[in-house]
Amino acid sequence: MLWDDVNARARGLATHLLDRGDLLRLAESRNWDAFVRDVQESGVPLMSGDGATTSPPDFDRAVGRVVAQRLALLARWLGTRRGVLNVIYEDEERRTLRALLRGAAQGGSPGARLRAATPTPGLPGRVLERLARAESPAALAEELVRVGHPAGRALREASLREPALGLLGLETALTRTFATRAARAARRGGPVIRQFVAELIDLENAWTLILGGGRHHSITGDTLYVEGGAVLDRKTYLRLQATAGLGDLFAQLRAAFAGRGLDRVFAGEAPDPARIETRAFAARIAAQQSQARRNPLGPSVTLSILERIRGEGRDLRTVAWGLALGAPGPAIEAQLVTAA
């Protein structure tokens, strides 16, 4: 499968993406109106038909539209190689549905639930608005069944089969649905795309281990394990699950992921688990960029730019909410995944 034509177009699109320095300058904007103006002057086409970016939730939706438009543009260029984009869509849907699921469990506002959502062909904006109003995880599952999304049936079955697992069991059901669909989408994409999916699954299994590490955890065995990874097979997962303390667990995860560019996720002492996702996103982008340099005619060029598009959207939202909440600059910078 040839990639040079779409790689050339993707590189052209990448010239419009912001780097870390751009984002840090945006974080220094004097006020909200100045921030929105600075973002638009930096080349991010925020304006929609109503032109509204008067609040962080409005900004979130505008950024989601920009990301969706750029993904759609790449979809046209990819043609028969669209499997790589389908994998990205599957991951976007998993992340969005996890946020919606947590929001439904915690009673969060619809705006808060949609904070990181990006419309996809499987979950367009109008559907996301409906899902964000679900009053409970069970209601979210039923809404997903109504719109024909396979995650709905998976969530319904998980809640009936293993209700004691609670939210963690439902999130695992989402990840298993993602793993099945993403692996199917990756079959025609070649080994690079299949490895990318396997690493996403590995990182999810690592996240499950971290949630239970360093303290007593009542959920043992392979109940929450997801098949399909390349690093954490079932035997390794069970061995690491018995590790006492997050420090030791991080050391063993670094060793397991060594040589794949993802060991940096677990570098140093065990940080606040909330920062693991930031580290993982940044490491995935860097790993794909490294592969793209080694093979400039392969799919990693386009895949790395797809990841950068998503990373820019995430970072713009991070800066916007940081400014709105008065977060200090270093705290905002620590959550950025875009490189310099």
Q: What is the 3-state secondary structure (H, E, C) of the chain?
A: CCCHHHHHHHHHHHCCCCCHHHHHHHCCCCCHHHHHHHHHHCCCCCCCCCCCCCCHHHHHHHHHHHHHHHHHHHHHHHHHHCHHHHHHHHHHHHHHHHHHHHHHHHCCCHHHHCCCCCCCCCCCHHHHHHHCCCCCHHHHHHHHHHCCCHHHHHHHHHHHHCHHHHHHHHHHHHHHHHHHHHHHHHHHHCHHHHHHHHHHHHHHHHHHHHHHCCCCCCCCCCCCCCCCCCCCCHHHHHHHHCCCCHHHHHHHHHHHHCCCCCHHHHCCCCCCHHHHHHHHHHHHHHHHHHHHHHCCCCCHHHHHHHHHHHHHHHHHHHHHHHHHHCCCHHHHHCCCCCCC
Residue 47 is encoded by which pair of tokens?
A: 């304006």
Residue range 229-244: mean pLDDT, rounded: 91
Query: In this structure, which amino acid lies at residue 285?
Result: I
> Rounded mean pLDDT of 22-35?
94
CA distance to 8, 52, 139, per residue, from 128 (Å):
33, 19, 14
Cβ-contact 70, 125 below 8 angstroms:
no
In percent, how much of the chain has pLDDT > 90? 59
Amino acid letter, 69? Q
Q: Which of 7-16, 58-67, 112-121, 213-222 shows the highest mean pLDDT? A: 7-16
> 219: pLDDT confidence band, cut at 50, 70 and 90?
low
Q: Is 38 exposed, middle or buried (0-12, 13-18, 19+ CB in 10 A)?
A: middle
- The owner of tokens 């995880």 is 137
User: What pLDDT is stored for residue 214 in this prediction?
Assistant: 46
pLDDT at 49 over 50: no
Mean pLDDT computed over every residue of the chain: 89
Report the C-alpha gap between 77 and 148 in whole angstroms. Answer: 28
Over 50: is that where the pLDDT of 303 sits? Answer: yes
- What angle do the packed helices 56-78 and 4-14 form, to 10 degrees? 160
- pLDDT tops 60 at residue 48: no
Which residues neighbour 278 within 8 Å (Cβ) at sequence distance 6 or greater? Answer: 334, 335, 336, 337
For residues 85 and 299, give the distance between their C-alpha atoms in angstroms, rounded to a whole number.
11
Of 24 and 213, the one with more pLDDT: 24
Distances in whole angstroms, Cα of residue 240 to Cα of each of 182, 237, 251, 257, 262 = 25, 5, 10, 13, 17
**Predicted confidence (pLDDT) at residue 242 exceeds the cutoff of 60:** yes
CA–chain centroid gap for 225, Å, is 19
Q: 1 versus 248: which is more confidently predicted? A: 248
Kindly provide the b/e burial profile for residues 55-66, where b requires at least 16 CB atoms within 10 angstroms of the residue's own CB.
ebbbbbbbbbbb
- Does the pLDDT at position 172 exceed 70? yes
Report CA torsion sign: 101, 107, 108, 114: positive
- pLDDT confidence of residue 188: 77
CB atoms within 10 A of CB 107: 9
What integer pLDDT is reported at residue 218 of this predicted model?
59
What is the mean predicted confidence (pLDDT) over 131-150?
95
pLDDT on residue 212: 74
As a whole number of angstroms, the distance between CA 168 and CA 226 comes to 13
